[in-house]
Chain A
Amino acid sequence: MAMHPLTRVLLGLACILVGLWLVAPTLVVVPMSFNENKSLAFPPQGFSWQWYQNFVTNPEWSTSFLNSLKVATVVAVLATVIGTLAAFGLDRMRARSAGLLRMLLLTPMVVPGVVLAIGIYAVYLDARLVGTMTGFVLAHTILALPFVLIAVQASLEVFDKRLETAAASLGAGRIATFRTVTLPLIAPGILSGLLFAFVTSFDEVIVSLFITSPYMKTLPVQIFTSITRDADPTVAAVGTILLCATTILIGGGLLLLGRDRRSSL
């Protein structure tokens, strides 16, 4: 169906506008990070790398960054293992309760973050987990689990289970079948789950604000406290770095998912 040239132009304009609206607030951070003055003014004045320097050298920033990295890595592995096992269990469960269990596992995605944060905080106070690495890992794993579950479940849905029967007929036991047939074929789903879990933990702020302490801060917490205390443009530098990193990670994840979908056709 041919489109009227005017319609085409209007459609293009509308798309550009919506795109700008979505991306602009994020992109504003980039020029601000090169500001010469210690202010978060826009448009920025002059050009300097000093805020990037500050991010690397100031222990407040670098420690919180390393904390986030550590927490996110452990969370990614933990959530991926648990989430994959859960997706498998639900996939092979014939009982009707499978749907109910699935909903239960997805609740952390649906429940308002603040509500979850209050609950976790209350429990952590008693368990002395506030401000600990373990506390962060446990809380973030709860939040990351649904993403892994969804990603792995999606690739299990398109996985042809009859291949497992074929593998059995060729002499493969259950573990060998999983390792040589099932795992390689659902690997894209598991990998994208891993990426989403990592990112979920890395930029989680609501729950983190509740369970943080002066001795254990993650990067988003540090950004929040910094910006409420003073107008330090280091925040913009960090924001720019994170923007680049998450774009690469999520982009990679989406590419993997896309490949998974195509190969299953």
Chain B
Amino acid sequence: MSETGKQRGAAIDLSAVSKAYGSFRALDDISLHIEAGEFMTLLGPSGSGKTTTLNVIAGFTEVSAGSLQVGGRSVVGMPAHKRNIGVVFQHYALFPHMTVGRNVAYPLSLRGVAKTEREARVKRALDMVRMADFAHRYPSELSGGQQQRVALARAIVFDPPLLLMDEPLGALDKKLREWLQLEIKRIHRELGTTFVYVTHDQEEALVLSDRIAVFNRGKIEQVGTGRDLYDAPETLFVGRFIGDSTVLRGQSRGDGSSTALDIAGETVTAPLKHAGRGQPVMLLRPEKLAIRRPGLGRNDGDNRLSGTISEAIYLGSGSKYEIRLRDGSTAIVRSPLTDESFTIGEAVELCFRGEDAKLVADDSAADTTLT
């Protein structure tokens, strides 16, 4: 797996993996390919199966069905301690009776690395996470962020081809989290190791990942780059979980090339054919929507819906509005600061171009798992 001396990551292949606890299916027929050296984030709400997937790869949980390969080798049935995979936990899991230095040296001692080499590698790993000055401290003397950096050093010191991280920044405050995100990104670049990162924070996923796998109810809804997921969500759940979006529901009519929705007496059309099963709904990102005062002429290609402003939020870089539509649903609009401003209670028209809408199948369960 290592070419020309530089440590390379291992590819991962999950194929038709299921994990059942009694009648509950924690993982339901998951297939996922992760490239060598890739930064893959498993994103989803709690209980969606992302952590179970991580535990399956780490060997903490055995699969009920399916196959799992790491670096081209099947690891099904292999105990965790033989898999040579680094793991960083949300709760740090540093050994409290060992100093920082001994914690980081631990995996090397187990592998019988000689003392001088061990010390050099511990130092290199601690340098990488900028914790070299703390080698003689005990974990209880460190802050949460420092402990997590030590845990990261301990997980990479033995050069695993794969590093798993389970919400590693979940217990830290926002500023520290943002800084550590950049640190993790830098370390990923420097190591070339495959990273698999679990989080429920979609912003974190967008910052860090090459690709994101969105989990929901034990299944993968969609895999793609952050841009793929934002611009072309394939399911209602993905559209709502990544970024803000307005969901338009109505009586649908479709011909060969376009789909129209009747929403409380108004009609909107999009030049798209609904391919999925079930009722189509339209998804619109906040920056694809515009607000107009009623009665002002606009070119005819625009779709219009009437509503009233129910919330106006000043964001600094712009404004965010919530608009109550006639059918009772809420639209979210982000407009740049230069645009005219609106006040709560004002009657407005919501405009968008049909080609900016995405059509996905309606899924009432998407609402329940999000809240």
Contacts and interface: CB of A to CB of B under 8 A. Distances in A.
Interface of A: 160, 162-163, 165-173, 176-177, 180-181, 184-185, 263
Interface in B117-154: 140, 154
B110 interface: yes
A165 B97 contact: no
B81 A169 contact: yes
A162 B93 contact: yes
Nearest to B110: A171
B79 interface: yes
B95 A163 contact: yes
Interface of B: 58-60, 79-82, 84-87, 89, 91, 93, 95-97, 106-107, 110-111, 140, 154-155, 158
Given A165-B93, A184-B97, A185-B97, A170 B110 contact: yes
B166 to A, nearest CB: 11
B95 A171 contact: no
A79 to B, nearest CB: 25
A169 B96 contact: no
B93 A168 contact: no
A172 B110 contact: yes
11 contacts: A160-B93, A165-B60, A165-B80, A168-B59, A169-B60, A169-B81, A170-B110, A170-B155, A171-B111, A180-B106, A185-B95
Nearest to A263: B96
A177 B79 CA distance: 13
A168 to B, nearest CB: 4
Nearest to A169: B87
B121 to A, nearest CB: 14
A162 B85 CA distance: 16
A168 B106 contact: no
Contact of A185 (B87, B89, B96): B96
Contacts of B86: 169
A170 B158 contact: yes
A225 to B, nearest CB: 48
A170 B97 contact: no
Given A162-B89, A166-B89, A176-B110, A171 B96 contact: no
Given A166-B87, A168-B59, 13 more contacts: A162-B91, A162-B93, A169-B60, A169-B85, A169-B86, A169-B155, A170-B81, A170-B110, A170-B154, A171-B110, A171-B158, A172-B81, A181-B95
A168 B96 contact: no
Contacts of B84: 171
Contacts of B158: 170-171
A203 to B, nearest CB: 33
Contacts of A170: 81, 106-107, 110, 154-155, 158
Contacts of A172: 81, 106, 110
A188 B96 CA distance: 14
Contacts of A176: 81, 110
A171 B81 contact: yes
B108 to A, nearest CB: 9
Contacts of B93: 160, 162-163, 165-166
A61 B73 CA distance: 71
A168 B89 CA distance: 13
A181 B60 CA distance: 18
B144 to A, nearest CB: 15
Nearest to A185: B97
Contacts of A166: 87, 89, 93, 95
Nearest to B104: A170
A173 B80 CA distance: 9
**A-B interface, 7 closest residue pairs, ranked by CB to CB distance from nearest:** A166-B93, A169-B87, A170-B107, A168-B80, A171-B110, A168-B81, A184-B97
A173 B81 contact: yes
B58 to A, nearest CB: 6
B60 A168 contact: yes
A169 B110 contact: no
Contact of A168 (B79, B95, B154): B79
Nearest to B102: A180
Contacts of B107: 170-171
Contacts of B82: 171
A149 B111 CA distance: 34
Nearest to A164: B93
Contacts of A263: 96, 140
A165 B79 CA distance: 11
Most chain-A CB neighbours within 10 Å: which of B81, B82, B84? B81
Most chain-A CB neighbours within 10 Å: which of B91, B110, B140? B110
A135 B246 CA distance: 81
Contacts of A167: 81, 95, 106
A184 B98 CA distance: 10
A21 B194 CA distance: 70
B70 to A, nearest CB: 13
Most chain-B CB neighbours within 10 Å: which of A171, A180, A184, A263? A171
A171 B97 CA distance: 18
Nearest to A162: B93
B278 to A, nearest CB: 41
Contacts of B60: 165, 168-169
Nearest to B87: A169
Contacts of B80: 165, 168-169
A162 B60 CA distance: 11
Nearest to A165: B60
B10 to A, nearest CB: 15
A156 to B, nearest CB: 15
Contacts of B111: 171
A177 B110 CA distance: 10
